[in-house]
Structure 1
Amino acid sequence: MIKFRLALSAALLFLTTTCVIAQDTWIRINQMGYRPTSKKVAVWVSKRDQKLQTFQLRDIRTNKVVFRGKVSNPFGAYGPFVQSYRLDFSGFDRPGSYAVEVGKVRSGEVRIGEGVYNGAADFALRYMRQQRTLFNPFLKDSCHTHDGFVLYGTEAGLPDSTRIDVGGGWHDASDYLQYSTTSANATYHLLAAYRDFPDVFSDTKQANGLEGANGVSDVLDEAKWGLDWLLKMHPTADLLFNQIADDRDHASMRMPGEDPFYGRGYERPVYFVDGKPQQRGKFLNNTTGTSSTAAKFVGAFNLGADLLRETLPGYSVLLEKRAKTAFDFAHRKLGVTQTVSVKSPYIYAEDNWVDDMELAYATMFGRWNEVSYKAEALRYATEEPVTPWMVRDTANHYQYYPFINLGHYELAKQLHGDERSKVLDYYKQGIEHVWERARQNAFYRGVPFIWCSNNLTVSFAIQCAWYAQLSGDHQYAELQQANLDWLFGVNPWGTSMVFGLPADGDTPKDPHSAFTHLHNYPIDGGLVDGPVYTSIFQNLIGIQLHEADEYAEFQSDLVVYHDDYGDYSTNEPTMDGTASLIYLLASQEQPNSIRKDRYGATVQGARNKKEVALVFTAHDLHDGATVVEQALQRNHVPASFFLTGDFLRDSRNASFIRRLSRKHYIGPHGDKHLLYAAWDNREKTLVDPHVFKQDLIDNLNALKAHGIRAEDASVFLPSYEWYNADIVRWTEEQGLDLINYTPGLRTAADYTFPEMGDRYRSSDSLWKEFFHQEETKGLQGHIILIHLGVDSRREDKFYNKLDSLIVELKKRGYVFRRVDKLLRE
């Protein structure tokens, strides 16, 4: 397996400096980067006992040392390492790209900037869409359309094998089981992310997950997908179901449409919540009641009803009704509902339920403001003040779920004075238990390495954030950041735990997933389970590594992590963990700062100003040049033109270029209009660094021939508007910034023509979609791309609408900027 190694990246970045990368010493960094005002800590680890005093930060572009700091006290051995230190550079806040150095050992690229997390939450939403059942937008196909037949429903008047329609929702992980508990929790987190951070999410997808804005934030579309399924799993007051399918699903690696394992064709069993023990391999599970599952429904339904009250009033009323009936169902028999397993001993062994009841009562209080609801929420809060895993160093699989007490947060927000302080103190107690363990090691790792440890890590970081937000006490800021850093590389293995994030980082490549294993489909944004105690790993059934362990030198008697599809314990992505991650990532985004996409390209300016940039590209077609120039001149609007070397060298364009250069930005678009990345696999780079560099240099030289200096052409828009992380990185190494048009805009489809079939977009439809986007989301900071020329087979040229577009945007209060100005002021 070939992996991108940060040590190799660092070596390539510093070819101008002679150095030796020690193979027994490493510096672990957060590969996503650090916000200027956040805690910024790298961790130095070694297999030799070394005494350190100082470290330094070096600017990658200038090769100058910009910061020197003292290392922490030594933390000693941890995992495979015999010595470790924390390297705190929080005092340095200048945006840019740097490397941490200790002697001759250098880290990979350290990014500092307000927008280092921007776009990450949207990126993780890709995995949620990929997990959809019924219609799956990633596969553009449907699956599990026959779900399902009822089991354990006799007391509700549903004999075994009764057919019921429960199609929809998300597959739970890389298997295709579906659980009400994890889905309700995931739905809650998506709804809360929209409620708490509405401005960080885009609208580029339809409700069915396919391309196209629909006026609804994509995260809300995804949350509603979850709500729709929960309504099917609780269709009437007397019916509530806990799961679809069981561990017979694990018979083989396959795609989701291939599930004939239950004796009834493609139908799968649907397990009714009866509050009694049900199947668990050769035994029965430890179900004691109906509360844990039903109460989770209440929280999701109440939050959904609140957020959708104005846009979908009828749907909101239905959610309110189901919240009440689920609330009643939770009281049928107080206790916990565990999941079912037929062949193996592994289940979601949830053992606590009072936290779910607290959430139910807290959200009922929020909806109806009845004092009795508040009183009961407070009572349940006292019964489990601290989520039990925080006190312990181990637990069974999903024994304490959710991994964060959501009820404390929803309740505390509605309280004042001593009542509020008391509930927040419960959060503090839990944080202190973890901090007591974390302060003993350089990674500040206090979360136990139980199955799905990454899910716990995300939840704990959210708890720290919620405690700080509601109490004003920020003493755990570094601990919170350490848990975020852990997920993106500040861990013994130096890897991100999120598939494809960041795009140029060391991230999972071989997860336990049929999508990747069978078809090499990327599972973008999926959070993998994470490291487990070595003792757990050695006692699990059916694990076999299929390739040499690339992290072998970082495994230890304490904990292991394997990027190998044969290890379902550490490298399987989970839907609910990813949903929680989406909330955490959204909390880190800065909605008003410059926005970058997953590859690192800048795609939007500041989102708190009504400013836009018009961008035009040209290579061999430029039939709209006169129309565009006159529209800009008539409306006194500056714009930006990205031109290929071939366009620049064509003598027929010389006077046009000369006129443009007086008022507008002119920058490179690639000398020969090369395709840099494969259309069908964007991660595949089609040019090597030398070819790309020469192509860019030739383009800049062609600009220079027209009097445009390289320093005045520092923004690059790649050919075909198509690139990947390699191209972004190589562009930065040449001292340029790579940009693209803002996602969600469709004006770039003005090149299409009727013979393209479904891909064709008429100018009228582009106009309609453009202003729909403006009316529903606004265009603040948007980069609007229009082609200077298009194929002759397209008769309705969108550039002919430019004059009207400018006039209309001015009426709506927008100011036009050159793109280099939009992104730098």
Structure 2
Amino acid sequence: MKKGILSLIVVLQLSITGFTVNAQTNSWVRINLLGYKPGSSKVAVWCSKAQTPVTDFSIADAVTGKTVYTAKVEKTFGGYGPFTLTARLNFSNFTKPGRYIIKAGAATSSAFTIGAGVYKGSADFCLRYLRQQRSGFNPFLKDSCHTHDGYTLYGPMPDSTRIDASGGWHDASDYLQYVTTSANATWHLLAAYRDFPKVFGDGHQANGLPGSNNRADVLDEARWGLNWLLKMHPRSNWMFNQIADDRDHQGMRIPKEDSFYGRGYERPVYFCTSTPQGFGKYKNRSTGLASTAGKFASAFALGYQLFKDPLLQDRALSAWALGVDKPGVCQTAPGRSPYFYEEDNWADDMELAGASIAAMNGSKKHLTAAYAYSKEETITPWLGKDTARHYQWYPFINLGHYELAKQLQGQQRKELISYYKQGIERVWQKARQNAFYRGVPFIWCSNNLTTSFAMQCYWYRKLTGDVSYSELEQACFDWLFGCNPWGTAMVYGLPASGDTPVDPHSAFTHLKQYPIDGGLVDGPVYGAIYKSLIGITLNEPDEYADFQSDLVVYHDDYGDYSTNEPTMDGTASLVYLLAAKEADQSKMYNGPSAIHKAEGDTFTAFIYVHGGITRGDARQKQLAIVFTGDEYNGDIHNIGRTLQINKVKASFFLTGRFYRNKENKQPIYTLKKQGHYLGPHSDQHLLYCDWSRRDSLLVTKEQFVQDLDSNYAAMQQYGISRKNARFFLPPFEWYNDSIAAWTRQQGLQLVNFTPGTYSNADYTTPDMKNYRSSIAIMDSIRAFEKRNKTGLNGFILLFHVGVHPSRTDRFARQLPALIAWLHSEKYILTTIDKLIK
């Protein structure tokens, strides 16, 4: 396959230029394969399956092999997906144009470019996919398809009435067509030209064939979309929502005249009724017209501004009126399966429509109405969440806030900007916990969400001049082009010299080996989602097998329709983002990691896993011994005496139940008097997330906060407050990024044990399969220290203050020997608050 060939070329190039390429069996460097602008944020991600963190990295000229830049690793994170350690390699202040390679430890990156023109032509490149998706006359095939569309369903006219609805774009690798996605795509194409006209070329005619027509290709494509939308809103009181249904899914085929809908070559055209619809037993949950009407109106209004076609102006106003008259969602209709676009929001569509009409004709009435709609959905609901239903919140960001903020002043403008910032901050609280800065959920079309969220960050930056989130913005963009666990770009054929999809879920590639240049594939999904889907079978060995995980998977295999299917609307959004990146001349980088600077963070060498700190500074020969307690307390007296005799300070994380237990009162007071750290471990020792599906929460945020508050209330009797106990160790030592984010929102920092030594196995009993004796645990700690370059530096060694009575071999008896050995190895034993400053 192409990927193997590209890898061979890179290896040969490196050999020719004098590089020695180490066999990268356990560490990798991921970069943006498309490249970086000199003034942008520039970060690569180092990933490893080993336990030794990387401390520095270098950049070498890809031609001469000469080292041109060296730097320390600013922040090390813990595991992510298949990796045990990760780190961000920030080289933003290296701005010299050229072709380079990054080396960190034994890992070497692919070659990449720094230059002002790295994104030049990329937006136009993605238009190739839109032209290939055309229904009616298809310029790629130089043939026509679906010219008999269609016959009506659900309308005021008799069912099976013939109307002309040919044209538009196929939605994805199937040939369904939706106003929902097509109007959104059309708006993005129009906005891309309006905002960045100099980016686009004129290499094609209006029909998509090669040639010039003195109009930018992006406008030709947008006009193609508008023409179809006009057919779908042919009268002021008629709106249609989709063509065809999932009877389409009868096998892969090159688009043609489909004959399996019962009316010759005609396909059904679904009328917008504001009530539930569905061809078979499955129905959608439609409640109104506004979600579709708003999309119609905004596309027509922006289209009028660029084309000055009176019919577009007229249809913008009629669609608006229908949306005002029937608020609610107009969802797509399912057929034989229960899958459909489950859009649950509509106020954002009407806000964008009102703002677009106001920009079209200066109407204060529509501007006022748009502002009122903005209050109904201030923050797009998926932002900061772990999951959402398929297209539940669509478009994936609130486009109306940007269009409205440009027209308003004063407090109203500030409010709209604050909505964007609040949404970004919600994602940032999750993203900041991992090296890839991923805060976007891995649901179907995660790449589309990523593209849209990067746009929201971009618009916020443009509206305010604030670069605080520029590194997050760039990280989303970098993810799409190779800075991800798999090291692959997510756009077919872009960049030409990089690893990109070659076997997508597409009839064009699978049946005819036609390239689908510029198509953005759906993107990675949670492992749990992938495992639950029906009908997915990989047809070739998985070239990314080493990088799949329970957290998230991605396959470049046409059999995986969940991660590797290109979409028309996602690609249209990417056209806007790529145009913005090409045109942007502003300096996104403003000193060392502006995003941390804005948040008040300082760089540390701490290791983070799912947002929890699991290791202190590996450069310092110190560690923390911590104990947790809940139900059992049998060793607390012996532990306290051992620590006092050896003049060692430790940390104790205890549940509310433990603090309230009368038997524990005196030893807790003694520990506090001796200067040990006392912190929370939850009140009732709840299990926060599923053992096998870590992303699956078992508690709500309200339950989490209430339980934690109760833990602190129990600590108050000992004079311990949040102020002097800001570190939290979760029950069962098991959590996910949501728990870590909720912890931070409470003003606390989640910590957990450092994996590798099996110290925490001191709770196991002989009847358990994972039982480890105290001697085995001691041997494991010593063995780990010897085989790792940084030993136990920064380690959080976790034990328990009590264990089940059936475990008679208690590790507390080994504690004196452990402390003596650690002292002999020159380790400083400290408390958690001093280890993590």
The two structures have a TM-score, normalised by structure 1, of 0.70
Alpha carbons of 1:570 and 1:414: their partners in 2 closer, same or farther (altered >3 Å)? same
User: Which of the numbers 530, 533, 539 marks the counterpart of 1:537?
Assistant: 530
The 8 Å contact of residues 151 and 159 in structure 2, kept in 1 or not, is answered as yes
45, 49, 54: which one pairs with 2:47? 45
DSSP-derived class of the 2:77 partner: coil
The answer as to whether partners of 1:200 and 1:591 remain within 8 angstroms in 2 is: no
Residue 371 (1) aligns with residue 370 (2): no
Q: Is the 8 A contact 2:147 2:257 kept in 1?
A: no
Match of 1:665 in 2: none
Greater gyration radius:
2
Distance 1:476 1:6, change over 3 A: farther
Counterpart in 1 of 2:196?
197
- Aligned counterpart, 1:117: 119
Q: Does 1:383 align with 2:382?
A: no
1:278 and 2:247 aligned: no
Partner of 2:748: none
Whole-angstrom distance in 2 between the partners of 1:544 and 1:377: 46
Q: Deviations over 1:684-732 (max 9, x none)?
A: xxxxxxxxxxxxxxxxxxxxxxxxxxxxxxxxxxxxxxxxxxxxxxxxx
Decide which of 352, 358, 367 is 2:351's aligned counterpart: 358
Counterpart position of 2:394: 401
- Between the aligned residues of both structures, percent identity stands at 63
> Which residue, out of 482, 486, 490, partners 1:493?
486
2: CA distance, partners of 1:565 / 1:10: 26
SS of residue matched to 1:490: coil
Query: Cα distance, 1:189 vs. partner?
Result: 0.2
Asked whether the equivalents of residues 48 and 86 of structure 2 are also in contact (C-alpha less than 8 Å), the reply is: yes
Quick one: distance in 2 between partners of 1:188 and 1:204? Answer: 21
Inter-partner Cα distance in structure 1 for 2:74 and 2:502:
34
Using the TM superposition, give the Cα deviation of residue 524 of structure 1 relative to its aligned residue in structure 2, in angstroms. Answer: 0.2
Q: Does 1:339 align with 2:332?
A: yes
After the TM superposition, which residues 65-144 of structure 1 pair with which residues of structure 2 at under 5 Å, given as runs?
Answer: 65-144=67-146
Tell me the residue number matched to 1:437. Answer: 430
Give the corresponding residue for 2:637.
none
2:475 partner SS: helix
Distance across 2 between alignment mates of 1:592 and 1:475: 17
Q: Distance in 1 between matches of 2:464 and 2:84?
A: 38
**Conserved in 2, the CA contact under 8 Å of 1:339 and 1:348?**
yes
Q: Identify the residue that residue 11 of structure 2 maps to in structure 1.
A: 11
The 3-state SS of whatever aligns with 1:538 is: helix
Q: Do residues 243 (structure 1) and 242 (structure 2) align?
A: yes
- Measure, in 2, the Cα distance between the counterparts of 1:54 and 1:71: 5
Tell me whether 238-247 or 255-264 shows the greater mean CA deviation: 255-264
Q: Once superposed, which parts of structure 1, at least 4 consecutive aligned residues long, lie more than 6 Å away?
A: none
Q: Which amino acid aligns with 1:84?
A: T
1:588 match: 581
Per the alignment, residue 548 of structure 1 pairs with: 541
Mean alpha-carbon deviation: is it higher for 342-351 or for 18-27? 18-27
| Rounded Cα–Cα distance in structure 2 between residues aligned with 1:95 and 1:421 | 38
Closer/same/farther in 2, CA of residues 409 and 4 from structure 1, 3 Å limit: farther
C-alpha distance in 1, partners of 2:134/2:109?
Answer: 38
Structure 1 pair 592/206, CA: closer, same or farther in 2 (3 Å)?
farther
C-alpha contact 1:450 1:533 (8 A) present in aligned 2? yes
Q: Which residue of 1 aligns with 2:665?
A: none
For the 8 Å contact 1:350–1:399, the answer to whether it is kept is yes
Q: What SS does the corresponding residue of 2:260 show, helix, strand or coil?
A: coil
TM, length-normalised to structure 2:
0.69
Aligned to 1:146: 148
Distance 1:280 1:331 in 2: 27
* CA shift in 2, pair 1:462/1:591, >3 Å: closer
Long gaps (5+) in structure 1? 310-315, 594-825
Judge conservation of contact 2:380–2:423 (CA < 8 Å) in 1: yes
Once residues 225 and 123 of structure 1 are traced to their aligned partners in structure 2, the CA distance between those partners, rounded to angstroms, is: 17
The separation in 2 between residues aligned to 1:48 and 1:387, in whole angstroms, is 39
- Report if aligned partners of 1:4, 1:506 keep a CA contact under 8 Å in 2: no
Indicate if the aligned counterparts of 2:384 and 2:439 stay in contact, CA closer than 8 A: no
Written as runs of structure 1 = structure 2, the 5 A alignment for 1:179-198 is: 179-198=178-197
Please list the CA deviations of residues 274-325 of structure 1 after superposition, one character each: whole Å capped at 9, or x if unmatched.
101111652321000011001100000000100112xxxxxx1110001111
User: What is the DSSP-based 3-state SS (H/G/I as helix, E as strand, rest coil) of the residue aligned with 1:376?
Assistant: helix
Task: Give the C-alpha shift of residue 261 in structure 1.
Answer: 1.4
Name the structure 1 match of 2:259: 260
| Matched positions, count | 584
Which residue, 404, 414, 422 being the options, matches 2:415?
Answer: 422
Structure 2 CA distance for aligned equivalents of residues 587 and 280 of structure 1: 41
Q: Match for 2:26: what amino acid?
A: D
Corresponding residue for residue 211 of structure 2: 212
Cα offsets for 1:763-799 (capped at 9, x unmatched): xxxxxxxxxxxxxxxxxxxxxxxxxxxxxxxxxxxxx
Q: Which residue of 1 aligns with 2:174?
A: 175
1:288 corresponding residue in structure 2: 287
- SS class of match (1:304): helix
1:480 and 1:591 map into 2 onto residues whose CA distance is: 13
Q: Could you tell me which amino acid in structure 1 is paired with residue 73 of structure 2?
A: V
Paired letter, 1:171: H
> What value does the CA root-mean-square deviation take over the aligned residues?
1.4
Q: Residue 7 of structure 1 contacts residue 21 of structure 1 at CA under 8 Å; is this kept in 2?
A: no
Is 1:28 aligned to residue 27 of structure 2? Answer: no
Question: Per the alignment, in what secondary structure is the counterpart of residue 242 of structure 2?
Answer: strand
Alignment partner, residue 510 of structure 2: 517
The partner residue of 2:473 within 476, 480, 499 is: 480
Q: Distance in 2 between matches of 1:544 and 1:346?
A: 19
Q: Give, as a single letter, the amino acid of the residue that structure 2 aligns with 1:493.
A: W
The offset of 1:258, in angstroms, is 4.4
| 8 A Cα contact 2:384 2:440, kept in partner | no
Query: Bigger shift: 329-338 or 93-102?
Result: 329-338
Q: How far is the alpha carbon of 1:97 from its aligned partner?
A: 0.3
Aligned partners of 2:257 and 2:135: how far apart in 1? 12
**Does the CA contact (< 8 Å) of 1:291 and 1:331 recur in 2?**
yes
Is the contact between residue 199 and residue 591 of structure 1 (CA under 8 Å) also seen in structure 2?
Answer: no
User: CA separation of 1:319/1:452 partners in 2, compared to 1, >3 Å: closer, same or farther?
Assistant: same
Structure 2: distance between partners of 1:132 and 1:355 = 28
> Equivalences for 1:629-640 in 2 at 5 Å?
none
- Give, in whole Å, the separation in 1 of the partners of 2:106 and 2:13: 14
Provide the C-alpha distance between the structure 1 equivalents of 2:245 and 2:380, rounded to a whole number of angstroms.
27
SS class of match (1:3): helix
Structure 1 residue 62, shift from structure 2 partner: 1.8
Cα distance in 2 for residues equivalent to 1:372 and 1:18: 67
CA displacement, residues 561-596 of structure 1 (integer Å, 9 cap, x when unaligned)? 010101111000000000000000001114999xxx
- Offset of 1:73 from its aligned partner? 2.1
Question: Which secondary structure does the structure 2 equivalent of 1:74 belong to?
Answer: strand
Q: Is residue 10–residue 106 contact of structure 1 (8 Å, CA) maintained in 2?
A: no
- Structure 1 Cα separation of the partners of residues 279 and 234 of structure 2: 26
Give the aligned residue type for 1:225.
W
Q: Secondary structure at the match of 1:383?
A: coil
Cα contact 2:54–2:105 (8 A) shared by 1: no
> Judging changes above 3 Å, is the alpha-carbon distance between structure 1 residues 418 and 152 closer, same or farther for their aligned structure 2 residues?
same
| Matched-pair contact (CA < 8 Å) for 1:115–1:590 | no
Displacement of 1:14: 2.0
Q: CA deviation at 1:11?
A: 2.6
Within 2, Cα distance between the matches of 1:590 and 1:460? Answer: 18
* Structure 2 gap ranges (5+): 587-837
SS state at 2:270 partner: strand
Cα offset, 1:239, TM superposition? 1.1
